[in-house]
Structures are given as structure tokens and as C-alpha cells.
Amino acid sequence: MKYESTRGNSPAVSAAKAIKKGIAPDGGLFVPIENVTITQAELQRLTSLSYAERAVAILKLFLTDFTEKELIDCVEAAYGGDKFDAPEVVPVKSLTPDTAVLELWHGPTCAFKDMALQILPQFLVRSLVKTGETSEIVILVATSGDTGKAALDGFADVPGTSIIVFFPQEGVSEVQRLQMITQQGNNVHVLGVHGNFDDAQSGVKQVFGDKELAQALADKGYRLSSANSINWGRLVPQIIYYFSAYADLVQAGTIQFGQSINFVVPTGNFGNILAGFYAKSMGLPINRLICAANPNNVLTDFIQTGTYNRNRNFLKTLSPSMDILISSNLERLLYELTGRQAEKINGWMNELKTNGVYSVDPVTREKVSSHFWSDFADDQETLATIQKTWAQHHYLLDTHTAVAVRVLEKYRRATGDTTYSVVASTASPFKFNGSVAKALLGDEAIAGKSEFNLLSDLSAFTGWPIPKGLHDLDKRPVLHKEVTGKDKIDEAVRNILLTP
Ligand SMILES: *Cc1c(COP(=O)(O)O)cnc(C)c1O
């Protein structure tokens, strides 16, 4: 399987090369040149397999330049051992008779980013060998919080790589910030940015586009790559868990084989839900993909109207990992839905860049709404949903997952659709424990307490254990203190890599 750019101006490359490069040379995103499909027999076979076996079965359809043995090794390194604190890796928990929760946060950093970022470094080291790369790969990351830590954890001390993470200094939770600035490893750099996630992401994109810098880095034996969800190597592992959730539900007798289900996905950069779209395109019986947004509801408006308009205020919400106004992966969806018309994509992306807005044609818009539905939930609804879900089901939601649960309610009310639905749960409730504790215990009980005191309060109240990755975070030494201006990201990279 080869990969081509959504902008149509780069030659098709192997999976290894697409993973190594992260972003295509013409500024587009890599996508498989052909539709990948799965047979009914193969789908049926998945039901009796372990998560690791399901992973290999899906990955080998896309990463055809990797041997099965290599894929098994990658999967074992990422999801094996005691890296995940659930034997199923991604447990499916029943919430109501027609709703389940797919827990994607049992990895080392307690958010769903681990699903991709534990395995991406494995793909990457093998891709370097396959492509005869001799340079050191420098992973540049802009993060709204969860990606940064997950990428640091995945890449720390991986030979042949180093990693530089930029996070919005005031845009992440205390737990997220501490997770990052206490990161150990000889090849890691972590910097705060005065600005929001979009500022950090724009700065990083600018570095990727800087030809002069690329040459200076090449002269010193460095080559930049990305661990953001624009990298195909991050997207492809996310396809697996849609199949796995389906297989588990069939195996448990909750649904019949062949029955269509909905997935509800708390969405930011459109990476997670796009993986669901690829799963559907491959033949997984999915009825609707429900895109749950917070008040940064640029995607909701797009799915409802066909116009993408980022000209609006950036809002800070209780679900910070979804505080995004430019959802990069939408470009891949549009490329697929237009029948791979790179010219159209170029036009829209240029409009987005210059005017901050574009409208797709009616045919594309129709296609979008045949697969997707979207609405959003605000902070108050988020807290109320956490509280209500605990009261009714004794199930603890983080703020992002709560947005999804609330949007599912709205979907059911608006459409009357009674299809069995799976909510993708993207973070451990302990990762956003300040907000979760506020929802459950009330303002008074949490007044004056640090997020760390609240971890144990929340654990005591619910009986849910504090995940290993969040223990003693406040006692670890702070190793990364630098903060940079939003226009100085390029300079910061130069300082780290080019100053002797
Ligand atoms: C990253 C993240 C999201 C958004 O996922 P996308 O793939 O960017 O749409 C949602 N919730 C949490 C907790 C996240 O970390």
C-alpha cells in the first residue's frame, strides 16, 4: 500500500516513508491510495482474538511494507507487558441497555493518545531502518495537553530520536502540565508557549515549512518529523479499537454480528473520529459517527452547514483537549469524500489559511451528513452530565467523555434513533479531577484544595483507584522550566538543535 498527499503534489510513498515524514512535502496529509476493506469472514474472526491479535490483523492491511513479525513486535512493545492497566487494553463497559463506554485511557498517561503514541515510536524506528535513514529524527509536537505527555512517554530514550514538545502555558490542566514538565529522558525537551493551542500548532507548522531551517538541521544530521495526529502512523492504530469494540460487543452477545452501531466521539483535531470513518469505510457496520464538540464548535457548525469558519473566539473550556479551532484531520475526510480531488482540497485549505473560512459543495456536504452528526455541550452541561451519570449508573466520566454522553442524549432526542451506541471515553476521570471533583462534590468541598488533594478525595468518594501514572506527580522533580513566545517557536527549535 502506497500513500499519497491530499494536496496532490507529492509522489506516492511507502507507509514507512509516510510515517517518517509525518506531513507530505506539499503540505498535505498522507492517505492510502486505495480503499482498504475487510472481509466479513475476517471481521467475524476478530471476535475471538485478543486486542494484540486484532491490532496485527488491522495494521497489516495498511502497513504492507512491515512484516507480520515486525507488526507483532510493535504491538507487543506498545500494548503488552503491564503498560496498560487493563488486561483487555480497551475495555468496553456497559452504561445502559443501549449504550456502552469504550475506555481508551488505560495506558501510561491516562488519555486515549496512548493508543497511538505508544506504538508510533515503534513504527518510526523500524521505518528509519527501512528507508535507510541515517539522520536523527526530531519529533516536534504542539499539544493541547494530552498528546504532549503521551508522545514524551512514547519517545523518551527511543534510540535515533529526540522530541520537543510545545504546550500552551495557560491552556492545560495542572496535572497535564506537571506530567510534562517532570518528564525524564535524555532526548526530551518541553517548553511552555505564551498562547493557546492553535498558536502552538501554527508555530510548529511554520517550523515544518521552514526550508532554510530544514537544510541547517540536515547539515547537523537532524530531520524533523511529527507525532501530531497528522502523522498516518498515529491515525492507523486508532482504527483498531473501533473493530475491537465491535468484536467485544458481538462476543458478549450485546449486539448481533452484522448489526450497525453508532460511535460517539469527543472531538478536537478530528483524528479519533476520522479513524472511525476509516473503520466504517473498511466495512465495519457503523450507522452514524457522532461528533461531540465543546463550545469551540467549529466542527458542529461544519457538519450542520457545510461551512467551516474558524473566525470566532477561542474559548477555554473544562474539556481543554477539545479546545481547537483548526481540526487538521478534516482535510483527510474531505479528500476521501470528494473522491480524492486534490484540487478542491487545495482550494479549501487556501481559503481557510487566508480567510479562515471555506464552504464545501452541496454534494460533499451531503456526504458529510450521511456519515456524521454533530452537536456540542457547554461546561455546565458537562458538569451536570458527570454528576448525573455518577448518580444514575455509578460510572465516573471525565469532562471530555461527559461532552460525548451529553451529545448522545441530544442526538437521540433530535433523531429518535435507537441504534446501540458506543461512547469513546478519551481520558481517565482522574486526569481532569479538578472538574470531576467539582461536579461530584460541589464547589465548597473542593475550595482551596490542590488538584493533588482532590485526587485522593475523588478516589475516596468513588472507590475508584488513582491510576499509576498520576501518583506522586507533585513530588517528582521539575526538569523543564522554559517558556517561549508564540512567535518564537522557530527560534526555540534553532536554539535547542543548532546552538553548539
Ligand atoms: C486529544 C483528545 C481529544 C480529541 O481527539 P482528536 O483526535 O483530536 O479529535 C478528546 N479527548 C481527549 C481527552 C483528548 O486527549
pLDDT at 57: 98
Catalytic residue among 20, 21, 113, 344: 113
CB of residue 267 inside a 6 A radius of ligand 1: yes
* pLDDT < 70: residue spans in the chain: none
In the Cβ-directed half-sphere of 424, how many Cα atoms lie within 13 Å?
30
Q: Where are the domains of the chain?
A: 91-110+234-431
Distance 147 CA to ligand 1 centre (A): 8
* Segment 80-84 long-range contacts (CB within 8 Å, at least 24 positions apart): 80/52, 83/107, 83/108, 83/118, 84/108, 84/114
Closest residue by Cα to residue 275 from 402, 115, 403: 115
User: Judging by DSSP bridges, how do beta strands 99-103 and 92-96 pair with one another?
Assistant: antiparallel
Active site residue 113: yes
**Which pLDDT value is given to residue 250?**
98
* Closest by Cα among 329, 324, 262, 296 to 116: 329
Residue to probe by mutation, ligand 1, list 167, 231, 330, 400, most atoms within 8 Å of CB: 400
pLDDT of residue 130: 96
Number of helices (H) and strands (E) in the chain: give both, helices first.
22, 16
Rg (CA), the chain: 21
Closest ligand 1 atom to the C-alpha of 266? Answer: 10
What is the pTM assigned to this prediction?
0.94
CATH of 91-110+234-431, one of 3.30.360.10, 1.10.10.60, 3.40.50.1100, 3.40.47.10: 3.40.50.1100
Interval between CA 267 and ligand 1 midpoint (Å): 6
pLDDT of residue 225: 86
pLDDT at residue number 428: 96
CB 375 within 8 A of CB 411: yes
What is the structure's pLDDT at 186? 95
Q: Cα(154) to centroid of ligand 1, in Å?
A: 17
Distance from the alpha carbon of residue 135 to the mean position of ligand 1, in angstroms: 31
Contact assessment for residue 348 and residue 354, using Cβ atoms and an 8 Å cutoff: no
Mutate to test the pocket of ligand 1, among 173, 176, 426, 430 (most ligand atoms within 8 A of CB): 426
Closest ligand 1 atom, CA of 272? 7
**Kind and range of the H or E run holding 287:** strand 286-293
The finding on whether 268 has its CB within 6 A of some atom of ligand 1 is yes
The pLDDT assigned to 392 comes to 98
Kindly state the cell numbers that stand for 319. 474539556
pLDDT for the residue 267? 97
Looking at the DSSP assignment, which residues form a beta bridge with residue 13? 3
Residues 188 and 155: beta-carbon distance below 8 Å: yes
| CA 442 – CA 269 distance, rounded (Å) | 31
